[in-house]
Every structure is written in structure tokens, then in C-alpha cells.
Homo-oligomer: A and B are copies of this chain.
């Protein structure tokens, strides 16, 4: 597996793939966080997913003429990727069925997350969205760093959070201020989280 892999490093903000690019290869995030972004000419943006270490980036599978990438992939923090050329990767899938099964299982998880987010974007209030976001991030952080550590940096700035949960950055800021005032989350500076009341967040996150 390592034999066919190529490494790539990206600085914060740099794109790995641009919307519409003829695409491409598969990859694996080994360190850092990336965002999947869809943007309009008029400035509107929607983040459709975050990639954490161990997450996959899918090329266009089995398509003879790969379509343009549906969204850009950009580094949020310093990002390390492990890239697999498309054809080589598909060979690999054929040769190692357990790898393909794993990939299918992961993809179903991603689909589940996307649908969860559809509920958030379609039906939740501003407060519920922000609370849900905090729950999602703390869960991710715990899975990675393992264990109940409520002490980590938010992977996104206010503007990116807004684009992820379908609000404006002003509304996000106001809701975070409210959570701070109510003692539901604690901050050190603007990005570093030092305290989280998970139970209260769940109450405020809605369904």
C-alpha cells in the first residue's frame, strides 16, 4: 500500500483540489483538517464536509471519464495527505476485498453524517445548529486524541463555522457568546476550548 502512495503537504488555506478540476486520485488524511467547499459566484459558500486524520478523499470511482470535482478541498490547518493514483487504487481494491469493504463501510458513515447535517441545515434554529456543531467537534476530537479531554482548538474560524452550519458569521458569534455567558462552553482566547457541558449542549442541539 505504501508502495504506490505519494505524500503531499499543504499550508492552511491552500487548496488540494479546486471545484470543477478534472479529478483524480484517492487520498488519505494523515494529519491536519481539510474542508470540502462549494461556492457560488456571488460569494455564498457552503462547507459540505470536514476531513480529519484517517478520513478518505474519493476520486471518481470507476468512471471512465471523470467528471469535474463537485467541490474544492482546502486545508484548514497544516495538512498532510497520502495520495494514491486512481488506477492503482482501483487495482488495490480489486486485490484486497477487505479494503473495499472497509471503504464501503466508511462511505456509508459519511452518508449518514451528511444526512444528519441535512436535518441541521433544513430544520434547526441558530442555537441548535451551533450546539450541534460543538457536539460534533468535541466528539471528533475525542475520537482522535482519545478520551474525555475537553481541551482542544476549534478546527474552524467563525466564518467557516458559519459556512458549515448555514448561518452568517455574526449569528454564529452571537450564539457562541450566549453559550459562553450561560456557562455551557468555556474558552481561552477565541479558538481554544477548555470546557464543555455535553449534557446541556445535547439539550440545546434539538433532535
Contacts and interface: CB of A to CB of B under 8 A. Distances in A.
Contact of A45 (B105, B108, B123): B123
Interface string A57-92: 010011000000011000000000000000000000
Contacts of A165: 122
B40 A123 contact: yes
6 contacts: A46-B123, A62-B101, A71-B115, A94-B97, A103-B104, A117-B118
Nearest to A125: B44
Interface in A35-58: 36, 38-41, 44-46, 48-49, 58
Tell me which of A103, A115, A116 has the highest count of chain B C-beta atoms within 10 A of its own C-beta: A115
Interface string A107-128: 1101110111111011100000
A166 interface: yes
Contacts of A119: 38, 46, 48
A12 interface: no
A115 B49 contact: yes
Given A70-B115, A107-B108, A122-B165, 12 more contacts: A46-B118, A49-B115, A61-B104, A62-B105, A97-B100, A100-B101, A104-B107, A110-B111, A111-B111, A114-B114, A121-B166, A123-B166
